[in-house]
């Protein structure tokens, strides 16, 4: 399967390009894999912290009204 795709491929030289491979599964089919390790090293870390659970509960606890949405 990999060799069938070779004539159709495009090779990129951008720093954001990620390697793509086809790995065989146990049932014989192919698993499409992308390696994002290099992209993750280029990404900047988030600079804002996530809110603490206690702060969220305090914020919701001060609410005057509640609304519940049930989805089935």
Q: What is the pLDDT of residues 13-43, one digit of tens each?
A: 677 788 888 999 999 899 999 988 888 888 8
C-alpha 15/C-alpha 32 separation (Å) is 21
**28 is a domain residue:** yes
Average pLDDT, the chain: 79
**72 is a domain residue:** no
- Number of CB atoms found within 10 A of residue 39's CB: 13
Mean pLDDT of 41-62: 82
**67 is a domain residue:** no
**68 is a domain residue:** no
**62 is a domain residue:** no
Domain residue limits at 39: 1-7+14-44
**25 is a domain residue:** yes
pTM listed for this prediction: 0.41
pLDDT: is 54 or 61 the higher one? Answer: 54
Query: How confident is the model at residue 25, as a pLDDT?
Result: 92
What's the structural domain count of the chain?
Answer: 1
**58 is a domain residue:** no
């Amino acid at each position: 399967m990999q060799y069938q795709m070779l004539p159709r491929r495009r090779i990129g030289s951008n720093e954001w390009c990620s390697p793509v491979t086809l790995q065989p599964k146990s049932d014989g089919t192919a698993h499409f894999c992308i390696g994002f390790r290099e992209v993750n090293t280029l990404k900047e870390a988030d600079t804002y912290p996530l809110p603490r659970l206690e702060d969220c509960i305090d914020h919701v606890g001060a609410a005057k009204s509640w609304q519940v949405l049930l989805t089935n």
